[in-house]
């Protein structure tokens, strides 16, 4: 590729905020591609055609009619634009596969759709062909960047492609979701039998989309430097640690950023009042309004703990539930928004029933409330057992809502503990604890409560937190550098 040509990058994923989002992946896919475009790349996006996306697509035309494929009678590729996103977007219009109730992966009863291998198999297959220039005669990619297991097969199809091809970059957002399929499905996923091997996409006797990404990609990344190290160990590697150790020379950790247009206390439309580090009065107003609207005791001196999360074992919500029983007696309050595991929902509902003035729990997905909690709380709890990057602690930092985090993955990389030394050096931005136990979380929240009682010191830490800059432009710069290295390696 000539140096002056723009690098052509196809981003492939299953979510994008605000249309389809179950977690941080949606935020990343809304923010990283525009940042790459600002860094000079010719970036395009490929996503499954979920109804909210098809409805939002503007100025679109049909790029290719693919007929029947992957169990769908008709598959069509559309190219257009999504409002607010200044780059070309391809959507796979296959209503039989993507027009479903529930979330992008699960039925309304929270079971995996049984045909998920086909639904995301089509995504990976089409990504590879689009990248290679077989689908849109006017465009091909230098890099196909696939995110998480949903897009993992793209890397296998690319590696198997005869002749010149784009580089396959695979980003792990969460190693625990392996995207399993039966070996009998290889043919319908357009994969040769030879791929079903330990040196291939086999994983414990099944096929795995995640393994395909990890094994076949030319370059691997994950969303924080610490998680990149952790996944090479048996404690965090989900059984892939051997492969990841071997692939360590092509594995990089690049931290996610914060989208300033969406998460900014000075311009956030969801808040009753706006504020910044030079004028924190608005934050107290937001806290008071939040306490009022959630039915919590209106008390500016009560430490208000916020948490916005998928309700999954990963997130350590159970540790907070236990801890709150003790802390509520000490005047601490909790505002939690989450959805997911029904058992965790039941435990939270019971806690809220026991402590109605001190604990508010809201179930479901609510973007506006998520902003009001991140802004109105004094601390944001992220007691995750593992956390590849984590975004709510970054949002908390931006909003002067000090993160209380378990020292793992991206949490360890982004929060500086308020130890006496760090406080004195004006480095502290939150509270970090080392073991994922109720006792350790409790001790960290207790430390937060003590510092909170010391107004001037608390404000100093808030200002330090708000001054942190986790910019997508910095992350995009690193990805562009890495794309350059991998395309060069491939062309040799």
| Helix axes of 472-491 and 24-38: crossing angle, nearest 10 degrees | 70
**Beta strand pairing call for 206-208 and 202-203:** antiparallel
Contact flag: residue 116 with ligand ADP (CB under 6 A): no
324: partner contacted, choices ligand ADP, ligand GLC, none (Cβ within 5-8 A by kind):
none
CB of 416 to ligand GLC, least distance (A): 19
Residues 318, 345, 347, 367: which binds ligand ADP (CB under 6 A)? 367
Contact flag: residue 28 with ligand GLC (CB under 6 A): yes
333: partner contacted, choices ligand ADP, ligand GLC, none (Cβ within 5-8 A by kind):
none
Residues 18, 23, 71, 477: which binds ligand ADP (CB under 6 A)? 23
- Chain centroid, CA 255 distance in Å: 11
Q: In whole angstroms, how large is the CA radius of gyration of the chain?
A: 23
Site string for ligand GLC, 163-202 (x = CB under 6 A): ----------xx----------------------------
Residues 389, 418, 465, 475: which binds ligand GLC (CB under 6 A)? 389
How many Cα atoms within 13 Å fall on the side-chain side of residue 3?
A: 0
Does residue 305 sit in helix, strand or coil?
A: strand
Distances (CA, A) of 330 to 303, 317, 456: 10, 20, 21
Site for ligand GLC in 86-105 (CB under 6 A): none
CB of 340 to ligand GLC, least distance (A): 12
Site string for ligand ADP, 391-410 (x = CB under 6 A): xx------------------
297: partner contacted, choices ligand ADP, ligand GLC, none (Cβ within 5-8 A by kind):
none
**Beta strand pairing call for 72-82 and 58-69:** antiparallel
Site for ligand GLC in 392-431 (CB under 6 A): 410
| Binding piece for ligand GLC, criterion CB under 6 A, among 18-26, 267-275, 360-368, 448-456 | 18-26
| Binding piece for ligand GLC, criterion CB under 6 A, among 19-27, 277-285, 337-345, 364-372 | 19-27
Place of tokens 């969406």: 262
**Number of residues lying near ligand ADP (CB under 6 A):** 18
Nearer to ligand ADP, 126 or 411 (CB): 411
> 354: which 2 tokens?
């026991």
165: partner contacted, choices ligand ADP, ligand GLC, none (Cβ within 5-8 A by kind):
none
Does residue 4 sit in helix, strand or coil?
A: coil
Residues 39, 201, 223, 294: which binds ligand GLC (CB under 6 A)? 223
d(CA 24, CA 310): 10
d(CA 267, CA 260): 9
End-to-end CA distance of the chain: 11
Q: Using the 8-state DSSP alphabet, how is residue 215 labeled?
A: H
| Helix axes of 153-160 and 209-216: crossing angle, nearest 10 degrees | 50
CB of 397 to ligand ADP, least distance (A): 13
CB of 454 to ligand ADP, least distance (A): 29
CB of 391 to ligand GLC, least distance (A): 5
How many Cα atoms within 13 Å fall on the side-chain side of residue 225?
A: 5
Residues 200, 390, 400, 430: which binds ligand GLC (CB under 6 A)? 390
Nearer to ligand GLC, 165 or 406 (CB): 406
- Chain centroid, CA 243 distance in Å: 23
CB of 23 to ligand GLC, least distance (A): 4
- Chain centroid, CA 74 distance in Å: 31
Helix (H) or strand (E) holding 219: strand 219-222
Do residues 145 and 213 touch, judged by C-beta distance below 8 A? Answer: no
Contact flag: residue 370 with ligand ADP (CB under 6 A): yes
Q: In which region does residue 202 sit, left (phi positive, over 0), alpha (psi from -120 to 50) or beta (all else)?
A: beta
CB of 286 to ligand GLC, least distance (A): 24
Beta bridge partners of 65: 76
How many Cα atoms within 13 Å fall on the side-chain side of residue 76?
A: 11
Q: Which residues bind ligand ADP (CB under 6 A)?
A: 23-25, 27, 308-310, 337-339, 365-367, 370, 389-392
Q: Which residues bind ligand GLC (CB under 6 A)?
A: 23-25, 28, 173-174, 223, 256, 387-391, 410
């Amino acid at each position: 590729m000539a140096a002056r040509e723009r690098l052509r990058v196809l981003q492939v994923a299953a979510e994008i905020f605000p249309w389809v989002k179950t977690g941080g992946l949606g935020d990343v896919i809304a923010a990283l591609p525009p940042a790459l475009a600002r860094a000079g790349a010719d970036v395009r996006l490929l996503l499954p055609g979920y109804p909210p996306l098809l409805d939002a697509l503007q100025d679109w035309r049909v790029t290719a009619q693919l007929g029947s494929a992957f169990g769908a009678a008709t598959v069509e590729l559309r190219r257009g634009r999504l409002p607010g996103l200044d780059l070309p977007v391809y959507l796979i219009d296959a209503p039989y596969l993507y027009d479903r109730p529930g979330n992008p992966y699960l039925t309304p009863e929270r079971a995996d759709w049984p045909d998920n291998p086909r639904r995301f198999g089509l995504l990976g297959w089409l990504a590879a062909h689009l990248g290679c220039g077989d689908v849109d005669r006017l465009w091909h990619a230098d890099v196909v960047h696939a995110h998480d297991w949903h897009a993992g097969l793209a890397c296998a199809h690319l590696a198997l492609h005869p002749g010149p091809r784009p580089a396959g970059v695979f980003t792990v957002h969460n190693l625990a979701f392996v995207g399993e399929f039966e070996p009998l499905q290889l043919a319908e996923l357009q994969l040769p039998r030879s791929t079903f091997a330990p040196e291939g996409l086999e994983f414990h006797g099944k096929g795995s989309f995640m393994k395909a990404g990890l094994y076949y990609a030319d370059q691997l990344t994950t969303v924080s430097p610490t998680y990149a190290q952790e996944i090479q160990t048996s404690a965090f590697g989900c059984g892939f640690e051997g492969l990841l150790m071997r692939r360590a020379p092509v594995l990089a950790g690049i931290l996610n950023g914060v989208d300033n247009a969406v998460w900014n206390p000075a311009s956030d439309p969801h808040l009753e009042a706006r504020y910044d580090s030079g004028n924190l009065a608005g934050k107290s107003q937001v806290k008071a309004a939040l306490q009022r609207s959630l039915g919590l005791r209106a008390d500016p001196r009560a430490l208000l703990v916020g948490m916005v999360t998928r309700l999954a074992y990963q997130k350590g919500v159970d540790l907070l539930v236990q801890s709150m029983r003790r802390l509520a007696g000490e005047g601490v309050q909790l505002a939690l928004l989450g959805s997911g595991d029904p058992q965790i929902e039941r435990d939270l509902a019971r806690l809220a029933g026991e402590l109605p003035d001190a604990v508010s729990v809201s179930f479901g997905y609510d973007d506006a409330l998520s902003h009001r909690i991140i802004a109105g709380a004094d601390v944001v709890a992220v007691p995750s057992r593992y956390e590849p990057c984590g975004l709510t602690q970054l949002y908390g930092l931006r909003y002067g809502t000090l993160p209380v985090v378990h020292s793992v993955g991206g949490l360890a990389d982004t929060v500086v503990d308020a130890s006496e030394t760090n406080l004195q050096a004006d480095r502290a931005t939150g509270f970090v604890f080392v073991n994922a136990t109720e006792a350790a979380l409790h001790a960290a929240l207790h430390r937060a409560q003590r510092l909170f009682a010391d107004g001037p010191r608390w404000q100093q830490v808030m200002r330090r937190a708000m001054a942190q800059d986790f910019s997508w432009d910095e992350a995009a710069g690193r990805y562009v550098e890495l794309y350059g290295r991998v395309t060069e390696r491939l062309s040799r």
